[in-house]
Amino acid sequence: MRIRSGNNTLNTHVKYWESIDEMPMYNWQKCSDGYLKYVTIDLIDDEKNNQIQYDKLYDQYLVRFGLSKEFERYMNLLRKKAKLQCDYVQTNKRFKLTEIEIVDAKIERLNINFGDGKSIETTVLHLSKWLGFKVNLKETTVVEYYTIIQEYGKWANKKE
């Protein structure tokens, strides 16, 4: 297991997950939910250093897997909505409000498809059924999990 060691101001030895190739998906999900102590092996609370390490791990994730197309569409819709809102403030033209509502509806549809659609637990149930064995998030690494997701997506797209 590759880990990064560091010293904090109390001179305690802190061991960090160094790579998404080895970090358990359970810890990754906890960090994504805001509990950054899971970026350390021993669950040490050190907000500043834990955030720095999580950012490094997230950079690894982005380099390896990138942003999903749904997320990119979502961000583009948010940008479009912000521009329309600025246009409305500058021009006070009421039809801009209608355009904003149309973009809001598109954002809501996209949220249903990827934002609020499935919890990680539900996803794990589907993946486990597809694989024929239980996916254990404490034993499955971040890379393994997202690779399975990608392969499942390819398989599901072929079926349609």
Q: Are residues 59 and 18 in the same domain?
A: yes
The domain total for the chain is 3
Q: Are residues 152 and 136 in the same domain?
A: yes
CA-atom Rg of the chain in angstroms: 20
- Residue 71 is predicted with a pLDDT of 77
Q: Are residues 7 and 38 in the same domain?
A: yes
Q: Are residues 39 and 7 in the same domain?
A: yes
Q: Are residues 60 and 75 in the same domain?
A: no
Q: Are residues 155 and 108 in the same domain?
A: no
| 158: three-class secondary structure by DSSP | helix
- Token pair of 35, please? 């509990």
Domain around 111: 69-115
Q: Are residues 96 and 42 in the same domain?
A: no
Instruction: List per-residue pLDDT tens for the chain, 160 residues long.
Output: 544 555 444 435 889 999 999 999 999 999 988 999 999 999 998 889 999 999 999 999 999 988 877 778 888 999 999 999 999 999 999 999 999 999 999 888 776 545 444 577 888 888 889 889 999 999 999 999 989 888 887 776 676 5
pTM of the model: 0.65
Q: Are residues 79 and 111 in the same domain?
A: yes
Q: Which residues of 79-90 are buried (b: 16+ CB within 10 A; e: fewer)?
A: ebbeebeeebee
Q: Are residues 104 and 125 in the same domain?
A: no
* Listed residue (145, 139, 152) closest to 120, CA to CA: 145
- Residue 11 is predicted with a pLDDT of 36
